Amino acid sequence: MLNLFNDGQIKKLVDGFQNGLNKNFSKENQESLMNLFYQAIKKNVGPDQQEQIIKSFGKKLKKFSNEVRKDGLAIINALENFNPISIFAKGSLTIVVVFIVGVFVFQFLKNRFLDEHAVSKKNPWYEIFQDHIPIDSLLKHINAHLVFSNEIKNELNTYIASVELALSHQQKIPPLLLIGPPGTGKTELANLLGDAFPRKMHLSGGSFSDLIKNGRAIGELKSIFNEAKPSILNGYTPCLIFIDEIEILVESRNKKGSVNKRSQEFFAQFLTILSDLPPGVWVVGASNFMNKSDKALDRRFPKKITLKKPGQVERIKILFRFLEASKKRAKKMKLYNTSHRFTKNDYFILSDLLKGLPPAEIKNIITDAEARSTQSPGKKLTPKVIEKSIEQYKKGKEALRINFLEEEEKEGKKKAQKN
């Protein structure tokens, strides 16, 4: 290694760096950055001058020079390859210019990352959650928006605890797969889980179908996961990636000839990415029909939660919640008369009529009942108005089912004629 500095330059370099730290950084961050500066010196300065520069920092630097950063200050990872000494290699820039540039660089990093995303000793991501839902309050946050059975609540509670543990130790977060028929709350649950993270991405398996055909899917997939990875560009904030219709994203390989070469390549790349997820990237997938998926994909999702259509107790809770929300809207916007009070018997009767319907469809029925109530006597939302909406909804659903069966029958006949 070359000895790049004379004694005067060493003094100015050390004093300038220390002054920049004193002016722009907290005591805790100063110590970490001083250690980084020391490591940069070891890498880039000859042995003779290393000792001289270290002595200039005095006892304070010596105290921290050999310590390994235990609390995981995220910004340091990005700065490990930052070499403040190499600027002098050309010998054309003065100490003053370098110092000024250095102060601006440190001020930028401080404003953008260190102060905004300070790190806690208990949890490296803790401070990042200050403007978001704390991870240990996530289940309460979910219960305030969705109604699930006690069994699913217990599963979620256990899983969220494992996510919190992974975050606190900067380990890989175990991916989660939500399985259930349409309307059971998979997408909404994924969004609520993502409220604990500063960044969320929502992908759809269907949107990758065309990309797979034209060979662009792998590049797009890599780009998405690279963007999700905590880095200096996003302030080392964690990210949740929600992949809906995941059974489309990865086609089954069980049937011979059903997947072309590009699909196979995409499948392999996707599995590799899931296996090598970095800390801070949380993948949540959702599927209506996991029997169309692949066993290798199933193994990449160690935790699976099946969301079923609500039972009677859950339907009553859902109905109550939607009706209360409807009344609040009605009072605010003066939609209908909110004086009617629903009895326990009303809830039980309506719950029986709603049997077999997922929460999303129950919500649609209440929305329809709101509109009907504006035309009802006294403009009241009553059980009879809701019963009418349920009846019409079921008729429409049955009509769609019959139409679908007729279309399938027509398609079958066309194929038979061609053969």
Distance CA 213, CA 259 (A): 11
One domain for residues 176 and 221: yes
Are 139 and 263 within one domain? yes
Q: Are residues 300 and 223 in the same domain?
A: yes
In a domain, 124, yes or no: no
368 part of a folded domain = yes
Q: How far apart are CA 270 and CA 260, in angstroms?
A: 15
| Residue 1 is assigned to a structural domain of this protein | no
Q: 281-287 and 176-179 as β-strands: parallel, antiparallel, unpaired?
A: parallel
Write the CATH number for 201: 3.40.50.300
User: Is residue 295, in this structure, part of any structural domain at all?
Assistant: yes
CA–CA gap between residue 325 and residue 334 (Å, rounded): 14
pLDDT in 10s for each residue of the chain, 419 residues: 445 556 666 666 666 666 655 655 555 556 656 666 655 665 556 666 666 665 665 544 444 433 333 333 433 443 444 444 444 444 444 454 555 555 555 554 444 444 333 333 334 443 344 456 777 788 889 988 899 989 999 999 999 999 988 888 888 999 999 999 989 999 999 999 988 888 889 888 888 877 887 788 888 889 889 888 887 666 678 899 999 988 877 664 544 444 577 788 888 889 999 999 999 999 999 998 766 567 788 889 999 999 999 999 999 999 999 999 999 988 888 888 888 889 999 999 999 999 999 999 999 999 999 999 988 888 899 999 999 999 999 988 888 888 777 777 777 777 777 76
Residue 74 lies in a domain: yes
Residues 284 and 317 in one domain: no
Question: Could you tell me the sign of the dihedral formed by the alpha carbons of 194, 199, 204, 209, in that order?
Answer: negative
Domain around 282? 132-306
pLDDT at 59: 44
136 shares a domain with 156:
yes
Residue 2 in domain: no
Q: Are residues 273 and 401 in the same domain?
A: no
Domain count, the chain: 3
Coil, helix or strand at residue 232: helix
- HEC profile of 65-111: HCCCCCCCCHHHHHHCCCCCCHHHHHCCCCHHHHHHHHHHHHHHHHH
- Are residues 143 and 256 part of one domain? yes
pLDDT of residue 27: 59
Looking at 261, 280, 306, the residue that finishes a domain is 306
Say whether both 288 and 346 belong to one domain.
no
- Can you say how many angstroms the Cα of residue 52 is from the centroid of all Cα atoms in its chain? 48
pLDDT for the residue 5: 55
Instruction: For CA atoms 113, 117, 122, 125, give the dihedral sign.
Output: negative
From 306, 336, 362, the end of a domain falls on: 306
Q: Is there a single domain that holds both residue 87 and residue 218?
A: no
Is 123 contained in some domain? no
My answer on whether 153 and 296 are in the same domain is: yes
Could you give phi then psi for residue 94, rounded to 5 degrees? -85, 165
Give the integer Cα–Cα distance in Å for 268 and 230: 24
> Do residues 178 and 287 touch, judged by C-beta distance below 8 A?
yes
Residue of 78, 71, 282, 302 whose CA lies nearest to 166: 282
**Distance between CA atoms of residues 264 and 166, nearest Å:** 31
Angle value at C-alpha 149, between 146 and 155, nearest 5 degrees: 95
Domain boundary among 84, 114, 144: 114
416 occurs within a structural domain: no
- List of residues 6+ apart from 277 with CB closer than 8 A: 172, 173, 175, 283
Under a CB-based contact definition with an 8 Å cutoff, are residues 386 and 350 in contact? yes
Contact (Cβ atoms closer than 8 angstroms) between residue 51 and residue 42: no
| Same domain (yes/no): 317, 299 | no
What's residue 414's pLDDT? 74
Do residue 302 and residue 248 come from a single domain?
A: yes
How far is C-alpha 171 from the geometric centre of its chain's CA atoms?
Answer: 15
